[in-house]
Chain A
Amino acid sequence: DAGVIQSPRHEVTEMGQEVTLRCKPISGHNSLFWYRQTMMRGLELLIYFNNNVPIDDSGMPEDRFSAKMPNASFSTLKIQPSEPRDSAVYFCASRLRGVTMNTEAFFGQGTRLTVV
């Protein structure tokens, strides 16, 4: 497996524009996580899905942020409209969630977002 794949790797956009980040989890994994990383706040969990269903989106900072997982192999994180304070590295991670234990979580390489 190629691991968790995120695109784009880098995104520079102007304030007010819509940004869509994409993630392909590892095949067979049923949990997917979106994180944001900044120097000030470290790694913050934004939202996670189990079996394509959003379970907890309490980390999503504002209504400008939305995430979807239409099928087991694809997820998007959308910011509309984007603001300079959204500049960060956004990571996607996946793992296999079991009844009694979970496997390792694996991370993508991240999308570095810069909003100017």
Chain B
Amino acid sequence: KQEVTQIPAALSVPEGENLVLNCSFTDSAIYNLQWFRQDPGKGLTSLLLIQSSQREQTSGRLNASLDKSSGRSTLYIAASQPGDSATYLCAGPGGDKLIFGTGTRLQVFP
């Protein structure tokens, strides 16, 4: 059974810092992993999808990596901004299912 864990649970940083959010999963036989962002009271917005054949994906200031052998994915946020404040969730498949971690709540202050 796939279990997904995210560390840290919460993070508060000043603007401009480079950040690393961590996601661990138990079933290494995954074929993709997806990162989402959720603003308070809103739905989930897809940030990046990494297929198992890929090691990383980049979108703007975001870079996500996938290491199946260690069961880990990291989301790197460069030069953080107050607008990055949100909860970040990773989701790994358990078969056809998307299993979510509990998220990292990020606050970037000016």
Interface residues of A (CB under 8 A from B): 31, 33, 35, 42-43, 45, 48, 50, 55-56, 91, 93, 97, 100-110
Query: What bracket does the count of chain B residues touching chain A fall in?
Result: 20 to 34
A93 CA to B44 CA, complexed, in Å: 9
A45 CA to B89 CA, complexed, in Å: 14
Given contacts A104-B46, A109-B43, A110-B43, contact A43 B32 (CB under 8 A): no
Pairwise interchain contact A43-B96, C-beta atoms closer than 8 A? no
Pairwise interchain contact A106-B99, C-beta atoms closer than 8 A? no
Interface residues of B (CB under 8 A from A): 31-32, 34, 36, 42-46, 49, 51-53, 89, 91, 93, 95-100, 102-103
Pairwise interchain contact A97-B31, C-beta atoms closer than 8 A? no
Residues of A within 8 A of B93 (CB): 102
Residue of A nearest to B51 (CB): A101
Given contacts A101-B51, A102-B32, A105-B91, contact A48 B43 (CB under 8 A): no
Pairwise interchain contact B96-A50, C-beta atoms closer than 8 A? yes
Given contacts A105-B91, A108-B43, contact A93 B98 (CB under 8 A): yes
Residues of A within 8 A of B44 (CB): 91, 93, 107
Residues of A within 8 A of B95 (CB): 56
